[in-house]
């Protein structure tokens, strides 16, 4: 083989290796970015869901109007939908349990509100634990 043929073969080999490296890098970067996006979206959904729960609980404790309670509950439902799209079944189950506890607290009879609010607190703890598990923080 002549030196020009060897040079051409080396150039082709270098181009193929370069292309393979580019493809692998693109795939790995894409997966990493997708994972980062999902983690950020999950964090946002967890925070919004828990924030809405706290707003509802605070409104109940302060005996604020029905409007704030309804808004907080609607926000919880909306963010639970986001969690259904992004999170695993245990996270969704904890979220549903908290949403039900929140509804029970909203409709609790006078004198049983404190116990209902305690259930909300327990529900939030379960959501936080499920969130940590989901995000690999435990």
Contact by Cβ (8 Å): 105, 113? yes
Contact by Cβ (8 Å): 76, 103? no
Q: How far is CA 130 from the centre of its chain?
A: 10
Is CATH 1.20.120 what the domain over 3-134 is classified as, yes or no? yes
Unique residue bearing structure tokens 């302060």: 62
Phi, psi (degrees; rounded to nearest 5) at 2 = -80, 165
Of the chain, the percentage scoring pLDDT greater than 70 comes to: 98
Mean pLDDT, rounded, for 14-27? 77
Give just the sign of the alpha carbon dihedral 87, 90, 92, 94.
negative
Q: pTM of the predicted model, to two decimals?
A: 0.75
- Domain boundaries in the chain? 3-134
Give just the sign of the alpha carbon dihedral 92, 97, 98, 104.
positive
Task: List, for residues 49-79, the tens digit of each pLDDT value.
Answer: 999 999 999 988 887 778 888 999 999 999 9
Q: 16: which 2 tokens?
A: 């193929």
Task: List, for residues 90-113, the tens digit of each pLDDT value.
Answer: 999 999 999 999 999 988 887 788
Unique residue bearing structure tokens 């490296």: 21
- Residue 79 pLDDT: 95
Q: 67: which 2 tokens?
A: 């409007």
Whole-number Å distance between alpha carbons of 83 and 103 = 18
pLDDT(48) > 80: yes
In terms of Cα–Cα distance, which of 91, 90, 87, 121 is closest to 104? 121
Of the chain, the percentage scoring pLDDT greater than 90 comes to: 46
């Amino acid at each position: 083989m002549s030196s020009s043929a060897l040079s051409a073969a080396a150039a082709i080999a270098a181009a193929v290796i370069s292309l393979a490296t580019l493809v692998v890098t693109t795939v790995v970067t894409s997966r990493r970015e997708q994972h980062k996006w999902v983690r950020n979206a999950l964090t946002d959904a967890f925070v919004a869901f828990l924030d809405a729960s706290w707003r509802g609980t605070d409104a109940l404790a302060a005996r604020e109007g029905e409007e704030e309670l309804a808004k907080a509950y609607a926000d919880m439902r909306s963010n639970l939908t986001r969690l259904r799209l992004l999170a695993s079944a245990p996270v969704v189950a904890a979220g549903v349990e908290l949403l039900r506890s929140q509804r029970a607290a909203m409709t609790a009879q006078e004198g049983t509100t404190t116990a209902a609010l305690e259930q909300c607190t327990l529900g939030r703890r379960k959501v936080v634990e499920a969130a940590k598990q989901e995000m690999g923080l435990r």
